Structure 1
Amino acid sequence: MTTRTPAAAVAALTLGLLLSSCALLDGSTGGDPTDAPSAQASERQRPTPPFVRQGRMSIEGGNDVTFELTVTGLEHDGEYLMLEVTHNYLEDLPGSVTGRNPPVRLVDPVSGEVLRFLHDPQSGDEPYGTHFVPGDPAMPTHEGLPTTLRRYFPAPTQDVDYLTLTGAGIGLVPGIPLTRVDAFTPAPEPNAHEYIDPETFAQEPELPDEIWYPDNPPPPGLDTADRRQTMESFVDGPTASTTRAGDQETIALHADEMFAFDDSEPTADAAQTIRAGAQTLRSHIGPRVEEITIVGHTDGVGSDTHNQTLSQERAEAARALLERELDGEFTLTIEGRGSAEPLATEGGPDDEQARARNRRVEFTYQVSPGADGSADTDGLASARRHVAEPAHFFDELEPVTTLIHDDVDLHVYPMVRDGAYAFQMVGLQNSTLSPLEADLDVDASAVPGGPAQYTQGTLGGFRVQEPDTGLIRYVVRIRTGDGEYEDFADRINELATGEQYLALAVFPAPAPDVTEMTLYAGAFGQVDVPVR
């Protein structure tokens, strides 16, 4: 009789661990949506599930096994989503699945909403869906026997037809269609307890062709607000940078472009910059939005009193210029915050550039739903949000190049345009005969004075730049709570010898006519990457 105790079973087999550390699958067969002759033709050409990925799963002790994941369906009952996948371990499991893998997410690539699976507080905060013993995170494993699992998510707040699955090392599974149902398809009658002892995890010597576990769907009326999260993007240009999260946008005008050092009198170029900013505001702000907040900031040099006064005076000067351009269309309020909210860390080797970034005047406002400003050629380039249709699923992809740093190979794959975002996949491969930690040395290619909050994490230090405009797009952040964020960029820990580990970094998408971006990949250097 085959025995697997909970210690050797897959611990906490949530979907996040289920998909753990899968290496990249080669391929892309679903062409670029922008190549389709029409939207209807493009929809007809879309692949439908099952969508298959095969890769590596991280196991305790540095071991890995090959497993295959198949997305079989995504149902929407009007309140929740139900994601159904089949997984199949293709090798013997030498230990438990580790919890060091990137979290699983369903993403609306158009709105930037991120969905996380729902947890049941009545059963030890385990996720709703497939389980073996209620409240117990351990699940049996079966080498070579496909097992179907379900996980439940909050429904997206926007009316969408396709979502993208990311996380746990599988990279990107775009174009998963939502099937709208009155009620979720009932799971087959569970048979796991007929073949596996829930106390000892001892298994019968012969198992059926398919194992079904009990399903625990969420009850109606759950508060799912904390399982919906927002993507925050940051685009930096020569004159201004733009931060956008949900329906709030902040434009930061570089103060050195508008004011002489330590002065609040606008320069000759300030009027032109404000004019472009006003054009952006007109195209972005919704019809029911009346207020724009203008905030002045300084660097950390000088006394707090002096900096507070200077920031207030610069905000007032910017308001006067903006009022003339907008002709009373909005209510403009001002604040001065001195040096209290720096974007870049001062005092380092790039102190001059860091202080320059912190000297800024910001406009903050609510964005009209659906506003992207992509057609606004007279506004600020950093504020244009470019939205395409959701990407198609692909199952074939070849790297465009391989960069080498120390004993790690970085396989760089084409960037995938998906909705309003660009997904960059890379594969890290250990070329030695022993396991090693992935050290990407993020500081090697950091922008002097770059914004600290967008340059952290394994791939958080990556950035992409448009060759023609010079606009820099940083890794997207996900707001996980009040003032809490995480990079939408995977962390890679130990690399087993010879195996490839897929990592994903997400950026705000460039303009539709941009077909190539320069990727700055930390210690690996830079490379031009095509945009699909």
Structure 2
Amino acid sequence: MPPIHPPASGRLLAAGALATTAVLVLSSCGIVRDLRGEDPQDVEAAAEEEPIEEDPRPEVEAAFPYTREGQIFQDNNQDSTLRFSITGLERTDEYTVLYYENTYVDHFEGVVRNLAMPNTLIDPVSGQAFWQLMDEDDYFYGSVAPDEDGYPVEVGATNEYRRYFPRLPDEVAQVTFVGSGLGAMTGIPVVDVDEEQPDPEDPNGPDLALTGPEPGDYVRFENRRPEPGAVEYVGEMESFVDSEVASTTRDGDTETVALKADVMFDFDSAELTSEAEDVVREAATSLERNIDPAAPEVTVIGHTDGTGTDAYNQDLSVERAETVRDILEEEIDTDLIFAVEGRGSDEPIAEEGGPDTEEAEARNRRVEFSYSVDRSNEENEGGGREDGVLGSSERHVFPPAPFVEDDTAEVVDSVTDGDVRLDVHPLRRDGAYVISTVTLTNTGDVPALPDMGGEDAVSPGGPTEFSQGALGGFQLLEPDTDLVRYVTQLNFGTEENYSGFAEEVHEMQPGNEYQLIAVFPAPPAEVEELTLRAGPFGEVDGVPFAD
């Protein structure tokens, strides 16, 4: 079979048979060990001496399997109902092993591929993402396909699989799994083991690839364990929160605040307006609060739009950056090291020249400052909104969401676009993020492909990189502020491995319904409802958080 490549920007494909499950004979339930790697009795004794800051990652009882069932997109339009079960997640000294099963419960013929996101493990507290281990030829380690056609599949037969991931950090006790095509499976516990489970003793996959499995069969495959030099992809969830005066991008341990020049400066001026001085002071407080004291460097960069000459734009961008630098230095007591640059119009974040060119030009006129974040100084309980800081720069961290078998049981509202109905379900807080789950149903008599992208899905002048993918144009708006939360991006370090954390929409068969997710940075605990901007479906007000 051909090699499986890392996720590409835009459409993310995962082989349905490749992204299916391996059975885990795990009869006993275990308690995930203390997250700090310490003996619980020692921790209790230490607590009597001094208070310990509460950890947002609670101890979790492992109760495999964790199962979802629903309709998924297939590349041959034979969209099928899949029962997907995670039967184990083990952390060894070398890597992490995922065991899972796939059972198709209705029509299914031939070799098909599940058009879902690639199998990915997410730590929702830190925002780290872990993709499957591969060899140098881009083949995944784990269950081996019997031949180039892939894995034998039959309705009612259960295929057992395992896949390998980079070793999860010791403090990670629960992860969110995506890749089945059935939304986000939150709260999957990590079990520490000395050794992974033995390879299947009697892999029958090669024989059944010739004869075909029967309903009720369990299909097992040979296992290929990772070898030295396995290719690892450990990425970050990149968030973007926007407001009328500033936006903040968070990518791993790097935070970039962009102050909007039209709010900060008069036309053709590098002096702050009186209103802008308060904004810069809030930015200074945010910077002082979030920066890693071990990395005191701050880079301030001015940007302009594409009008004017290159020389003019360069000079103005430098002058505005210097103005912001001066205010930051005045407001911050800590000795920080500032570097100033001007980029003129060389680095636009919104595309100019289109129907929304005025909005795009306004977004491109900005002064950014970037710095390393102190990850040890983040809110653990979601926190409330703080006075005197930029709302876009607040990060709110909750415990990982527990596992739920069905994210679609409750419908908040339903809206239509032609023959396609969008059912909106309650939001779920998951670590530092919020998951929006929706269901799309084709109510017509012929296949339908709703236009989820394009101009209707992207706000005028919106940043291009945060508006990609079928649900990439979705946004969450806080009703009592001007803060807008964009779809989080999965950033694995290269342009090819950079894509929105939102599932794609493919051709929908008549009468079928499909569960999809989009993931956003989380608002504070005091926010109980958000408005979902759902592209061509318009706005859905009052979307609550699940209990």
Q: TM-score range by the shorter chain?
A: 0.7 to 0.9
Distance apart, 1:89 and its partner CA: 1.7
How many angstroms apart in 2 are the aligned matches of 1:293 and 1:230?
Answer: 21
Q: Which residue of 1 aligns with 2:469?
A: 457
* Correspondence for 1:156: 168
Question: Where does structure 1 differ by over 4 angstroms across 4 or more consecutive aligned residues?
Answer: 11-17, 38-47, 206-209, 373-376
Q: Supply the AA of the counterpart residue of 1:434.
A: V
Aligned equivalents of 2:56 and 2:453: distance in 1?
A: 45
**Counterpart selection for 1:64 from 79, 84, 93:** 79
1:502 alignment partner, SS class: strand
Q: CA deviation at 1:127?
A: 1.3
Q: In the alignment, residue 222 of structure 1 is paired with which amino acid?
A: G
Deviation at 1:489, TM superposition (A): 1.1
Structure 2 letter corresponding to 1:269: E
Structure 2 residue aligned with 1:76? 91
Shift of 1:358: 1.0
How much does 1:344 deviate? Answer: 1.5
Query: Distance in 2 between the 1:194 and 1:295 partners?
Result: 59
Which of 368, 385, 395 is 2:405 aligned to?
A: 395
CA distance 1:432–1:47, change in 2 (3 Å): farther
1:18 matched residue in structure 2: 20
- Determine the C-alpha separation between the residues in 2 that align with 1:466 and 1:516: 8
Contact 1:297 1:338 in 2 (8 A): yes
Give me the whole-angstrom Cα distance separating, in 2, the residues matched to 1:168 and 1:208: 21
Match of 1:120 among 135, 147, 166: 135
Answer yes or no: is the 8 Å Cα contact 2:205–2:220 preserved in 1.
no
CA distance in 1, matches of 2:532, 2:347: 29
Partner of 2:372: 366
1:188 pairs with one of 177, 200, 204: 200
Equivalent position SS for 1:352 = helix
> Cα offset for 1:12?
8.7
For residues 83 and 393 of structure 1, do their structure 2 counterparts lie closer, same or farther at Cα, with a shift above 3 Å needed?
Answer: same
| Counterpart for residue 293 of structure 1 | 299
How far did residue 287 of structure 1 move? 1.9
**8 A Cα contact 1:291 1:332, kept in partner:** yes
Residue 279 of structure 1 pairs with residue 279 of structure 2: no
Contact persistence 1:442–1:458 (CA under 8 A): no
SS in 1 for 2:163: strand
Which amino acid in the other structure matches residue 392 of structure 1? P
In the alignment, which residue of structure 2 is the partner of 1:495? Answer: 508
When residues 194 and 406 of structure 1 are mapped into structure 2, their CA distance, relative to the original with a 3 A threshold, is closer
Deviations 1:30-86 (CA, angstroms, capped at 9, x unpaired): xxxxxxxx9899957867221111122434542222221111110000221111112
Alpha-carbon distance in 2 for matches of 1:295, 1:41 = 35
Task: Note the alpha carbon deviations across 1:229-266, whole angstroms, 9 max, x for none.
Answer: 11110000122100010001100011122211110122
Alpha-carbon offset, residue 293 of structure 1: 0.3
Match of 1:405 in 2: 417
Structure 2 residue corresponding to 1:49, chosen from 42, 49, 64: 64
2:529 to 508, 513, 516: 516
Q: Distance in 1 between matches of 2:294 and 2:56?
A: 36
Contact 1:234 1:474 in 2 (8 A): yes
Alignment of structure 1 residues 62-141 onto 2, 5 Å: 62-98=77-113, 100-121=115-136, 125-133=138-146, 136=148, 138-141=150-153
Distance of aligned partners of 1:158 and 1:505 in 2 relative to their CA distance in 1, 3 Å threshold:
farther
Cα drift, residue 323 of structure 1: 1.2
- Pairwise CA distance, 1:446: 3.5
Instruction: Flag the 1:126–1:190 CA change in 2: closer, same or farther, 3 A.
Output: farther
Give 1:103's aligned amino acid: P
Q: Secondary structure at the match of 1:411?
A: strand
| CA spacing shift, 1:15–1:386, aligned 2, 3 Å | farther
Question: What is the aligned partner in structure 1 of residue 320 from structure 2?
Answer: 314
Q: 2:27 maps to what in 1?
A: none
Distance 1:259 1:277 in 2: 16
Is the contact made by 1:298 and 1:360 (CA closer than 8 Å) also made in structure 2? yes
2:202 is aligned with what amino acid? P
Look up the match of 1:28.
Answer: none
- Alignment match, 1:525: 538
Aligned partners of 2:502, 2:175: CA distance in 1, in Å? 18
SS in structure 2 of the partner of residue 437 of structure 1? coil
What is the CA–CA distance in structure 1 between the aligned matches of 2:149 and 2:121, rounded to whole Å?
Answer: 22
Alignment CA distance shift 1:392-1:99 (3 Å): closer
1:30 aligns with none
Contact 1:146 1:211 in 2 (8 A): yes
Q: CA offset at residue 445 of structure 1?
A: 5.5
Map 1:179-258 to 2 at 5 A.
Answer: 179-192=191-204, 195-196=207-208, 201-203=210-212, 209-219=217-227, 221-225=228-232, 227-258=233-264
CA contact (8 A) 2:60 2:174 kept: no
User: Are the aligned partners of 1:57 and 1:65 in contact in 2 as well (CA < 8 Å)?
Assistant: yes
Aligned residues: 497
Residue 350 of structure 1 deviates from its aligned partner by 2.3
Stretch deviating more after TM superposition (515-524 or 158-167): 158-167
Cα distance in structure 1, aligned partners of 2:54 and 2:336: 37
CA 306–157 in structure 1, closer or farther in 2 if over 3 Å, else same: farther
SS of residue matched to 1:78: coil
Quick one: distance in 2 between partners of 1:292 and 1:462?
32
How many Å apart are 1:145 and its aligned residue? 2.2
> Structure 1 residue 136: deviation in Å?
3.9
8 Å CA contact 1:47–1:392 kept in 2: the answer is no
Distance 1:180 1:45 in 2: 12
Residue in structure 2 matched with residue 27 of structure 1 by the alignment: none
Structure 2 counterpart of 1:170: 182
Structure 1: how far apart are the matches of 2:207 and 2:393? Answer: 58
Q: CA RMSD in A?
A: 2.7
Query: Deviations for 1:397-442, whole angstroms, at most 9, x for unmatched residues?
Result: 3221211001101111111110001111111111111212222254
Secondary structure in 1 matching 2:274: coil
Moved more, 112-121 or 239-248: 112-121
| Secondary structure of the structure 1 residue equivalent to 2:211 | coil
Question: Which whole-Å CA distance do the structure 2 matches of 1:15 and 1:271 have between them?
Answer: 57
Specify whether residues 268 and 473 from structure 1 end up closer, same or farther in structure 2 by C-alpha distance, changes over 3 A only. Answer: same
